[in-house]
Amino acid sequence: MESVEGARSFHASGEAYDLFMGRYSRPLAGVFADAAGILPGQRALDLGCGPGALTSELVARLGAEAVCAVDPSPEFVQDCAARNPGVDVRLGQAESIPFGDGEFDAALAQLVLHFVSDPPFAASEMRRVVRPGGTVAACVWDFAEEMRMLRLFWDAALTIDPSAPDEARTLRFSREGELSGLLSESGLSEVVETTLSVESSYSGFDELWAGFLQGIGPAGWFCLSLADDRRELLRTELFRRLGSPSGGFTLPAKARCATGRVP
Ligand SMILES: C[S@@+](CC[C@H](N)C(=O)[O-])C[C@H]1O[C@@H](n2cnc3c(N)ncnc32)[C@H](O)[C@@H]1O
């Protein structure tokens, strides 16, 4: 599993993940499942499930017995299973999905395909496990502009280190047309790209900062890799860029979403 570069910064508990990203991926799961047309009676796969935000949404719509989930992080697999009793949660990765051909009506990857080592192969794997006429769906944050939490963080990080690994520069599929292009090139038909908007509210700056200190994903990894004095500079710059809030605030987040049908 350690050959999967993106999975290295996802060894964390579900609670830690929720402080940082789960607070966004939970509301995202509802609009993403709507975009994918998830309806009772279907059988669905949550690929790159993390601790299970989308898994829970699928369970609410389809029942636990109709939902399967896969992630390369053992910690997330454990937490996803604990949070979603009855779901078949397996350790695995997008490049080799541990399920047979045509087993699902839909395969969904929420905030995942930008982390996989071979996205075209991952898309072909998603297509493989879905029956003809079924749906493949994926979404990725709009890192360059409208995922405010990460945009503010990377803008602050670039101020203190111009070589900081801004996800808008280092990761794919956050720009218009990239995800739909990936799904079209994997042979899916009726490919549609949309945007999904959610938001998260914080009681204050310390709650936002605590999310980065969990060390999750590229932003958390970068934050913890800094020496204490540099991390304090980053904290100060992020606080300034947020407008030095004295109380609570809400940050919007937009994801790009693409869906396609298996011919
Ligand atoms: C930002 S999290 C999203 C988790 C969850 N889908 C959500 O929306 O909260 C990215 C997830 O992708 C998983 N991941 C990384 N590389 C992967 C791969 N090659 N195949 C499948 N999942 C992968 C990570 O372990 C992590 O759980």
Q: What is the atom index within ligand 1 of the atom nearest the CA of 72?
A: 25
Atom of ligand 1 nearest to the CA of 48: 22
Does the C-beta of 186 come closer than 6 Å to ligand 1? no
pTM of the model: 0.95
Q: How far apart are CA 92 and CA 128, in angstroms?
A: 15
- Is 218 a pocket residue for ligand 1 (Cβ < 6 Å)? no
Q: Is the CB of 24 under 6 A from ligand 1?
A: no
The model's pLDDT over 100-141, given as tens digits with 9 standing for 90+, comes to 999 999 999 999 999 999 999 999 999 999 999 999 999 999
Give the separation between CA 100 and CA 209, rounded to whole angstroms.
Answer: 42
- What DSSP element (H or E) covers 199? strand 189-202
Q: Is the CB of 110 under 6 A from ligand 1?
A: yes
Tell me the mean pLDDT in the region 199-224: 96
Q: What tens digit of pLDDT does each residue of 143-159 get?
A: 888 999 999 999 999 99
Q: Which atom of ligand 1 is nearest to the CA of 53?
A: 9
Structure confidence at residue 2 as a pLDDT band (50, 70, 90): very low
Nearest CA to ligand 1 atom 26: 50
DSSP, collapsed to helix, strand or coil, labels residue 200 as strand
Mean pLDDT within 174-193? 96
Any atom of ligand 1 within 6 Å of the Cβ of 50: yes
C-alpha span between 135 and 60 (Å, rounded): 19
Task: Map out the domains of the chain with their CATH numbers.
Answer: 5-261 (3.40.50.150)
Ligand 1 atom closest to 116 (CA): 19
Of 171 and 204, the one with more pLDDT: 204
Whether ligand 1 lies within 6 angstroms of the CB of 112 is answered as: yes
* 21-68 residue pLDDT tens: 999 999 999 999 999 999 999 999 999 999 999 999 999 999 999 999
What's residue 8's pLDDT? 57
Note whether 94 and 5 are within 8 A (CB).
Answer: no
pLDDT surpassing 50 at residue 3: no
Q: Ligand 1, residue 28: give the atom nearest the CA.
A: 8
Mutating to test ligand 1, I would choose from 3, 5, 25, 112 the residue with most ligand atoms within 8 A of its C-beta, which is 112
Task: Please state the rounded mean pLDDT for residues 2-18.
Answer: 69
Characterise 111 by phi-psi region: left (phi > 0), alpha (psi -120 to 50), beta (else). Answer: left
Q: Report pLDDT for 6.
A: 44
Residue in this structure with the two tokens 């910690």, named with its chain if needed? 75
Residue 73 Cβ inside 6 Å of ligand 1? The answer reads yes
